Structure 1
Amino acid sequence: MIYEQTKTACLELIRLERADVRPVRLLVVGASSSEVGGGQIGKASQPQLGGEIARAALDAAREFGVDVAFQCCEHLNRALVVERRVAEKYGLEPVCVVPYPKAGGSVASAAYRMMDEPVVVEAIRADAGIDIGDTLIGMHLKPVAVPVRLAANLVGEARVVAARTRAKLIGGERAKYNL
């Protein structure tokens, strides 16, 4: 059930076609296995649920050729797990740490172990993000974040909040945004 709910939410966000938002090339995923399991964030880590969430997000991203980053918990300063090729593609400098369920979070820890060549980076600027259980992913989104209300708004017991991003509108009342 957790795998299916997570994958459905990720696919819904990736597939969304709106003229006012960027296409998804890089997706950030933040998830609390504690919240998914009905507990309080950071207090009831569940590695099995973390694995289901990570696998579902990876599978959804692969279907559309989207790069994915998994946010660690605050004990690792909300750093992110990505494939080495993703870090190189976006010019991100890896840091030296390996996430574990109690220091990084169950989801990021599971993702690290599922990836071919994982690295951890301090920050990214993603085109879209999915937050499962109030993990505060906004710091890793490009400006300007546009909230997306998903039909798939729960994973287990956790709320799902999502966003896509758009280009900044500049210039004031005289500015035009179309030809």
Structure 2
Amino acid sequence: MKTLLSEIKKCTLCEPHLDLGANPVVSAHKNSKIVIIGQAPGTKVHASGIAWNDASGKQLRKWLNVSDEDFYNVENFAIIPMGFCYPGKGKSGDKPPRKECAPLWHQQIFDKLPNVELVVLIGMYAQNYYLKSKAKRTLTETVDNYPEYLPNYFVLPHPSPRNRFWFTKNPWFEKNVIPELQKRVVAILK
């Protein structure tokens, strides 16, 4: 695993397309139990090199009901974004994750993760890639039907503060989905 992660962190395949250059952010350990697959690092994460080290990460840890220490323990959580580098600024928010990372690296990482009990798919890019035709028409429908993807996958919207309108419009998410997520995370990390 260390050799593979070292190879990924040296990757510059997409560099010509990246506003801030390549700085792959990924973490995993052969004992990782839960895999977090989100979109791609934002500017704060790009600068720090620490995944989910921003407001979205704070909200994600709240949803998971885990401390920073537990979240950043690679034997608990592997963090494998759809795009490992900050993709750049788009018209409204960040550009989509680069399409090269997941096909090139994800399976190689998963091949070295024999103890994974749950994969958390955050946002449409991860859900569409992994669920393929089983993903619903919209993210809201996919998340509302989260039991269909268990026990392997747990689907979530992106925890970004920019999504507060979605959270306000869909109160069932915090009421029904988050408690189930927390129950599963606690059971796995025991």
Which protein has the bigger strand share? 1
Which protein has the bigger helix share? 2
TM-score between both structures, scaled by the size of structure 1: 0.33
TM-score between both structures, scaled by the size of structure 2: 0.32
